[in-house]
Structure 1
Amino acid sequence: AESYSNSKLKFITEILSEFSPVKFYKEYVESYKSRIEAEADLLSHLKALSRVGKSREIRKAENYIECFDELINSGACNRYWSDKDNWDVQLAKKWA
């Protein structure tokens, strides 16, 4: 599990300059049972990066942590989860 966590940390580092929670969700969508779980994991990885990253990465991570609620409640995030919920319902009906 540690290497999987490291891959998430590496992924977040790669998207820092154009950070979007949706990019993270799409990359790791299979890992989560709920939006809350995904958001908590994203926040924990941002916090980890703020401890172990290079100085520029630390500043960016801290910035995103400060406005985390705003980020995860953006229109793009809400649309992603709404679309995903609709898609999951359609898939469930298809296989029912």
Structure 2
Amino acid sequence: RIAWLKNYAGIDYMVPDPQNPHARVINPVLLNITQGPPNVQPRPRQNLNILDHGQWRHLVVGVTALSHANKPSVTPVKVLSDKITKIYSDIRQFAKIA
């Protein structure tokens, strides 16, 4: 999971401690994420329609918010644009292009 955070979302798991420059702490953005086995689901999985913009909006906004945590100097619009491009290139081969 840590490798996925870094490689796909660009989020560092450990970041420099602002109070001690020689130490590292867990990224504060990640502290609010529920921990535990990844297969434990509070509700059944829902189907995702790749072509449904309403379903994608929540996913893209969430990924963008997490990605922006490591890049505060970059505008949120730029981060969103980069993430949409990345997601599109990842799923393009699976999507039905109308």
Q: What TM-score, normalized to structure 2? A: 0.33
**More helix as a share of residues:** 1
Q: Flag the structure with larger Rg.
A: 2
**More strand as a share of residues:** 2
* Higher-RCO chain (CA-CA 8 Å, sequence separation at least 6): 1
Q: What TM-score, normalized to structure 1? A: 0.33
